[in-house]
A and B are shown apart, each in its own frame.
Chain A
Amino acid sequence: RKEVEQDPGPFNVPEGATVAFNCTYSNSASQSFFWYRQDCRKEPKLLMSVYSSGNEDGRFTAQLNRASQYISLLIRDSKLSDSATYLCVVRRGSQGNLIFGKGTKLSVKP
């Protein structure tokens, strides 16, 4: 079993839609959780860290369920500019290396 698993998509949604991405991780020792976005042929960029209590940043909401080892990302009111690949990432320890999922591709259409 892969350490971090995501639905690869693609998710094709119209502008204004709400879309949810899910991610599961297998190592219960994972301590930190992140969502990154990656545009085609670009570097991954940190979208948001995921807090135990869940957190929101504008149209983006991240949730963590440690008991189920599950992370989610909700995007409301999708924009064309949200089209990208979303990477679920976990880390063991404060400075341990990041473990990346393969990513979920989102395409927002007019």
Chain B
Amino acid sequence: DAGITQSPRHKVTETGTPVTLRCHQTENHRYMYWYRQDPGHGLRLIHYSYGVKDTDKGEVSDGYSVSRSKTEDFLLTLESATSSQTSVYFCAISELGTSGSYEQFFGPGTRLTVL
């Protein structure tokens, strides 16, 4: 258990409204990630963070912003939700594994529906 929680776990919202998803971790991991998962696609990286206030874009960052004001929380914001952002959103952390390489562990996910 990597100690990752996500909230909310489910959300239904309307097109044009702002939405914020929260990822919370309890083990002081430096790297955190937001992915989305859609049918017909593998998981795709939206944004990631390598420390407090340090973030960078991933493969599918358009329409999303992130913030990390403290180590334990990584927030994903949809400024104006669109139906194409209906998806399952996963947060992940990275930690050094026994293999000697960094391994990523995922939170339980947030199912977002934009009507």
Which A residues lie at the B interface, using CB under 8 A? 4, 31-32, 34, 42-46, 49, 51, 87, 94-95, 97-103
Contacts of B59 in A (CB 8 A): 97
Apart from the given pairs A43-B90, A49-B103, A100-B42, 20 other A-B contacts in the complex at a CB distance below 8 Å: A4-B42, A31-B101, A32-B102, A42-B109, A43-B106, A43-B108, A44-B43, A44-B90, A45-B106, A46-B103, A46-B105, A49-B97, A87-B42, A94-B102, A95-B102, A98-B43, A98-B45, A100-B43, A100-B44, A102-B41
A-B contact count (CB 8 A): 49
Q: What's the nearest-Cβ distance from chain B to residue A107, in Å? A: 18
Contacts of B113 in A (CB 8 A): none
User: Is chain A's binding surface mostly helix, strand, loop or mixed?
Assistant: strand
Contacts of B105 in A (CB 8 A): 46
Whether, in the assembled complex, B74 has its beta carbon less than 8 Å from a beta carbon of chain A, the answer is: no
Contacts of B50 in A (CB 8 A): 95
Residue in B94, B99, B106 whose CB lies within 8 Å of A44: B106
Q: Given A42-B108, A43-B109, do A101 and B42 touch, yes or no (CB 8 Å)?
A: yes
Which B residues lie at the A interface, using CB under 8 A? 31, 33, 40-45, 48, 50, 58-59, 90, 94, 97, 99, 101-109
Q: Are B99 and A51 in contact (CB under 8 A)?
A: yes
Q: From B103, which residue of chain A is reached at the shortest CB distance?
A: A46
Contacts of B58 in A (CB 8 A): 97
Q: From B40, which residue of chain A is reached at the shortest CB distance?
A: A102
Contacts of B31 in A (CB 8 A): 95
Q: From A51, which residue of chain B is reached at the shortest CB distance?
A: B99
Q: What's the nearest-Cβ distance from chain B to residue A38, in Å? A: 9
Q: From B43, which residue of chain A is reached at the shortest CB distance?
A: A100
Residue in B42, B103, B107 whose CB lies within 8 Å of A99: B42
- Give the top 7 A-B pairs by smallest Cβ distance, nearest first: A100-B42, A49-B99, A43-B106, A97-B45, A100-B43, A32-B101, A102-B42
